[in-house]
Amino acid sequence: MSHEYGLTFRVLMVITLSLGLAGCAARSHSLYDAVPAEANAIAAEHSILIATSRGKAENAAEVFDGTRAEDLSYARVNITIPAVHKSGALEQPRAGGERDASLHFAAREVAVYRDGTEFNKVLKERLKKTDGRALVFIHGYRTPFDGSIYRMAQIIHDSGYKGTPVLFSWASTGRTVDYIYDNNSATVARDGLERTLRHLREAGATRIDIVAHSMGNWVTMEALRQLAISGEKQSSLGLGDVVLASPDIDVDVFKSQLRRIGKPERPFIVLISRDDRALLLSSIIAGSKPRVGDYDGDQSLAELGVIAVDVSQLSSGDSLNHARFADNPLLIQLLGDRLNAGDDFGANSDQIAQNIGKLTQGVGRTLGSAAEIVITTPFEVINIAVGGGG
């Protein structure tokens, strides 16, 4: 392949993938625009606590936008789930369409706290009710404020998570063309996430699980690196599982972050999809360097203290194959079982295989076709068959 042809091919790929990414971006971001629904049309309501590095939106109905604030802000948003909801789906109106709470995820109540003191009071009360358990979700690139809330509500609802949900929402514009801006915003947000994790511990959290997606993994790994440099260990912070879904991080950078953090006391869990088209775009933008989320060197990651989980064979709810962790019914249930169980995978490979295998029983049979999850641990490679309709 000539240099000119290779350059043209990469440009065409960027244009094609960008058009695909931009397909559903033009919708209202107001949190107050939903048509209310009758009680029997609502399946559940979830109250999401929020720490954000976003600036206040000019349009008050959007609450926060993609600008960067110098300090954290705090909020709570109650999201209703429509009774028509299907596991793995995030029901939204079409671009330009009306949000209807009987059909779509919708905000029922929005509260912005004056300062961290008010937020801390609510946080302490919630943590007491959930035995000190908290889940922090960090969203990815091209995610507006309302979109980050809806996604966390879907994760909490479909996974059946029982602890206190805390969204860390950083200043993504929600626009496809702002990849570099978003990447810089993610870097700016790492101090805020570090403060949020410390804040949770001080408020009474005894176990903090983390789920990060896409570029949100950059925020997460940088915050964990900073904590490690300051001498903070996972156990002293109360960290439980750290689930890194489709990480949009240069693999060499990720390995250097892991080396600086040190071998995790509990192995990080990295979800990998070899056919992730969004990460292909990221790789092209970054000079064809592989991203962690579609990397093929699972064993080299395992040697640094992570469990690499290849979910490429499982179906995806989006054409880019970038959000399997949340939009595949099997994976979202596995995630919930994993977080709610709160135990270790096990001390040896047999125990790991047995524990993970238990999680796939039953729900795997509901899938339409046979598939395989390939798990590479610091001990060995485990292949687990799921699905098949048996």
CA angle 104, 175, 79 (to 5 degrees): 25
pLDDT tens for each residue of 188-242: 999 999 999 999 999 999 999 999 999 999 999 999 999 999 999 888 999 999 9
Structure tokens at 354: 């047995």
Tell whether the model's pLDDT for residue 335 goes beyond 80. Answer: yes
Q: Rounded distance, CA 322 to CA 4, Å? A: 29
* 8 Å CB contact between 238 and 206: yes
- Could you state, in order of their start, the residue ranges of all structural domains in the chain? 3-352
**pLDDT band (50, 70, 90) for residue 19:** very low
Beta bridge mates, 250 = 291
Q: Rounded distance, CA 169 to CA 62, Å? A: 14
Structure tokens at 129: 């009710």
**pLDDT band (50, 70, 90) for residue 360:** low
Q: What is the DSSP string of 83-122?
A: TT--TT----PPTTPPPBTTTS-EEEEEEE-SSHHHHHHH
Closest CA to 197 of 148, 230, 160, 171: 230
Tell whether the model's pLDDT for residue 356 goes beyond 60. Answer: no
pLDDT tens for each residue of 242-267: 999 999 999 999 999 999 999 888 89
Model pLDDT, residue 189: 98
Model pLDDT, residue 386: 78
Q: Determine the angle formed by the axes of helices 3-21 and 277-285, rounding to 10 degrees.
A: 130
* 8 Å CB contact between 92 and 107: no
Model pLDDT, residue 38: 97
* pTM across the whole model: 0.91
CATH number for 3-352 (one of 3.60.10.10, 3.30.70.100, 3.90.1150.10, 3.40.50.1820): it is 3.40.50.1820
